Amino acid sequence: MVELGGVRSCAAPDVTGIPLLMNQFCQQLPTPPGITRWSILALAGVFVLAGCQGDEPDEVNVPGGDPDRGAELIISYQCGECHYIPGIEGADGRDAPGLQIWPNRAFVADSAPNTPENVIAFIQNPAAVQPGSPMPDLGVSEEEARDITAYLFTLRGPEGRR
Q: Are residues 85 and 145 in the same domain?
A: yes
pLDDT band at 41 (very low <50, low <70, confident <90, very high): low
Counting the structural domains of the chain, the total is 2
What pLDDT digit, counting tens, does each position of 57-99 carry? 567 889 999 999 999 999 999 999 999 998 898 898 989 888 8
Among the ranges given (48-57, 74-83, 99-108, 127-136), the one the predictor scored with the smallest mean pLDDT: 48-57
CATH of the domain at 92: 2.60.40.420
Q: Please give the Cα distance from 5 to 107 (Å, whole number).
A: 37
**CA–CA distance, 86 with 148 (Å, rounded to integer):** 13
> Which range among 100-109, 114-123, 126-135, 141-150 shows the weakest confidence by mean pLDDT?
100-109
Same-domain status, 72 and 148: yes
Q: Are 73 and 142 in contact (CB under 8 A)?
A: no
In a domain, 159, yes or no: no
Q: Among 85, 87, 64, 80, which Cα is nearest to 141's?
A: 64
- Whether 83 and 49 map to the same domain: the answer is no
Instruction: Indicate if 31 and 100 belong to the same structural domain.
Output: no
Q: Are residues 33 and 85 in the same domain?
A: no
By residue range, what is the domain housing residue 33? 2-53
Question: Residues 130, 95: one domain?
Answer: yes
Q: Are residues 87 and 38 in the same domain?
A: no
Residues 147, 71, single domain; the answer is yes
* H or E segment and range at residue 51: helix 37-53
pLDDT band for position 11 (50/70/90)?
Answer: very low
Please give the pLDDT value at position 64.
96
Distance CA 122, CA 129 (A): 6
CA atoms within 13 Å, Cβ hemisphere of 138? 18
Closest Cα to residue 72, out of 85, 54, 57, 59?
A: 85
Position 60 in a domain: no
- Domain closes at, from 28, 53, 78: 53
Burial (0-12, 13-18, 19+ Cβ within 10 Å), 127: middle
Question: Considering the entire predicted model, what is its pTM?
Answer: 0.64
Helix (H, G, I), strand (E, B) or coil at 47: helix
